[in-house]
């Protein structure tokens, strides 16, 4: 017996993989490294033939994630970008996508510099405005890809409204749910067809793993995405599947602590004289606050803030002691970045500025250290 739907999400996360290995009773899922599998006879299979096509450790992870998300099928990839790339491979020359403009820079890069060469066209819109999304849809539009909260400005898109729009216009609705994780936001409940994760972030949670996940709500789309993954090969290796399984067991605990710390840090930053703006959906004055309360169980651990000058931004990064000046997010260790130069460096400068990603904007992934220590570090760095 494996943990199933009857249990709460928290319990299912902790119990991932327990009961999988009946032969030994192992609590921790075994790592299956075999590249290939012996067939019992011609036309017979144990369910495993070749590790790109299927691996027992990966299967535990994928089945667990599909169940947690409430989808028909989950697939584990070697990175978030591998998951996104595989999703984009679903489309054909001449197809058009509508995509959030407040977006992970790498997603923009793969669409703009690679898929554009294959005739996939994209319109970037402010997906916090459902009407703007509707206006961008053409006869050739096949899908909408939304990140909410947005990156790095934490804008909130109305998932129910966008889900309804996609249903009416016959569009595939994909949500990159990396910032909140299934603990806080469940896009399938709002009509999403595909949920995407960079598992390098909260799902992995320890800044020690690179992985990506696609979850399909319907079996047919899951089968199609599996076909694309198996054909092109960007699978998550068995050791990393095991590490991700282990990480997921503490996801609920970690997310609770990230949310708790981020709200304290956001409130503290708000009153700092050198901070001109704080972007965190948990603050009542954030324009997406009420929407966020309706569609998510919490506000997550990501926030951005603008300081009074580019010099302040640069000296702050230099003086950080506890918080690391590093890209990425979602790990237990707090990290700070300068999006204009790092994560969003591939977005053309004029476009970046239009979006508000200037060199006074800092993005903070609030870790699970003591909130007091994080705030003390910010205090001395901003002084």
Annotated catalytic residues are 52, 104, 176, 201
- 207 touches ligand PLP (CB under 6 A): no
Residue 150 C-beta: closest distance to ligand PLP, Å: 9
State which residue, 104 or 280, has the beta carbon closest to ligand PLP: 104
And the tokens for 108?
Answer: 């923009």
- 3-class secondary-structure state, position 219: helix
Name 131's Cβ contacts closer than 8 Å, sequence gap at least 6. Answer: none
- 210 touches ligand PLP (CB under 6 A): yes
Sign of the CA dihedral with 37 first, then 43, 46, and 51 last: positive
* Number of residues in contact with ligand PLP under rule CB under 6 A: 15
Site for ligand PLP in 136-155 (CB under 6 A): 147, 151
Residue 48 C-beta: closest distance to ligand PLP, Å: 26
CA dist., res. 310 & res. 317, Å (int)? 11
DSSP string of 122-182, one letter each residue = EEEE-TT-HHHHHHH--TTEEEEEEESS-TTT-----HHHHHHHHHHHT-EEEEE-TTTHH
The residue nearest ligand PLP at its CB is: 80
Residue 352 C-beta: closest distance to ligand PLP, Å: 17
Task: Give how far Cα 347 sits from Cα of 50, 129, 239, 355, Å.
Answer: 39, 21, 34, 10
- 178 touches ligand PLP (CB under 6 A): yes
Q: Which residues pair with 235 in a beta bridge?
A: 77
- 106 touches ligand PLP (CB under 6 A): yes
Residue 96 C-beta: closest distance to ligand PLP, Å: 21
CA dist., res. 90 & res. 28, Å (int)? 35
State which residue, 178 or 316, has the beta carbon closest to ligand PLP: 178
- 237 touches ligand PLP (CB under 6 A): no
Site for ligand PLP in 60-79 (CB under 6 A): 79
CA dist., res. 264 & res. 20, Å (int)? 40
State which residue, 215 or 382, has the beta carbon closest to ligand PLP: 215
Closest of 184, 305, 202 to residue 247, by C-alpha: 202
What's the longest Cα–Cα distance across the chain? Answer: 74
Q: Which residues pair with 73 in a beta bridge?
A: 216
CA atoms within 13 A on the CB side of 159: 25
- 198 touches ligand PLP (CB under 6 A): yes
Task: Give how far Cα 63 sits from Cα of 69, 212, 244, 348, Å.
Answer: 10, 15, 13, 40
State which residue, 155 or 212, has the beta carbon closest to ligand PLP: 212
Residue 206 C-beta: closest distance to ligand PLP, Å: 14
Residue 176 C-beta: closest distance to ligand PLP, Å: 5
Token pair 């977006």 is found at 103
- 345 touches ligand PLP (CB under 6 A): no
- 102 touches ligand PLP (CB under 6 A): no
- 293 touches ligand PLP (CB under 6 A): no
Residue 338 C-beta: closest distance to ligand PLP, Å: 16
- 81 touches ligand PLP (CB under 6 A): yes
Q: For the window 9-28, what string marks contact with ligand PLP as x by the rule CB under 6 A?
A: --------------------
Given a contact cutoff of 8 angstroms between Cβ atoms, the answer to whether 334 and 374 are in contact is yes
State which residue, 147 or 359, has the beta carbon closest to ligand PLP: 147
And the tokens for 169?
Answer: 């216009």
Q: Which residues of the chain form contacts with ligand PLP (CB under 6 A)?
A: 79-81, 104, 106-107, 147, 151, 176, 178, 198, 200-201, 210, 212
């Amino acid at each position: 017996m494996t943990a199933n739907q009857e249990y709460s999400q928290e319990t299912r996360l902790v119990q991932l993989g327990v009961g999988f290995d009946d032969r030994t009773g192992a609590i921790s899922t075994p790592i299956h490294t075999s590249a290939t599998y012996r067939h019992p006879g011609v036309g017979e299979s144990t369910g495993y033939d070749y590790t790109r096509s299927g691996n027992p450790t990966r299967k535990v992870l994928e089945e667990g994630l599909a169940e947690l998300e409430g989808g028909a099928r989950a697939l584990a990839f070697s990175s978030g970008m591998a998951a996104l790339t595989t999703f984009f491979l679903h489309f054909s020359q001449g197809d058009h996508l509508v995509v959030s403009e407040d977006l992970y820079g790498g997603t923009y890069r793969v669409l703009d510099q690679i898929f554009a060469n294959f005739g996939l066209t994209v319109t970037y819109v402010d997906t916090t405005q459902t009407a703007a999304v509707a206006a961008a849809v053409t006869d050739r539009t096949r899908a909408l890809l939304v990140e909410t909260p947005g990156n790095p400005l934490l804008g909130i898109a109305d998932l129910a409204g966008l889900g309804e729009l996609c249903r009416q216009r016959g569009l595939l609705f994909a949500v990159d749910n990396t910032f909140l994780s299934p603990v806080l936001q469940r896009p399938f409940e709002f009509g999403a067809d595909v949920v995407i994760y960079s598992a390098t972030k909260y799902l992995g949670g320890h800044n020690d793993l690179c992985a990506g996940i696609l979850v399909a709500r319907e079996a047919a789309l899951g089968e199609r995405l599996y076909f694309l993954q198996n054909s092109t090969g960007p699978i998550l290796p068995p050791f990393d599947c095991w590490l991700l399984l282990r990480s997921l067991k503490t996801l609920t605990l970690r997310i609770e602590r990230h949310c708790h710390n981020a709200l304290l840090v956001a409130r503290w930053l708000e009153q700092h004289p050198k901070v001109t703006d704080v972007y965190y959906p948990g603050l009542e004055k954030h324009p997406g606050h009420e929407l966020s309360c309706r569609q998510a169980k919490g506000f997550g651990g990501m926030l951005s803030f603008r300081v009074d000058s580019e010099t302040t931004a640069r000296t702050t990064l230099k003086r950080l002691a506890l918080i690391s000046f590093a890209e990425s997010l979602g790990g237990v260790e707090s990290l700070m970045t300068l999006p204009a130069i790092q994560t969003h460096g591939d977005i053309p400068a004029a476009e970046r500025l239009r979006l508000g990603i200037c060199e006074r904007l800092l993005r903070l992934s609030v870790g699970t250290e003591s909130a007091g220590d994080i705030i003390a570090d910010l205090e001395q760095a901003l002084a």
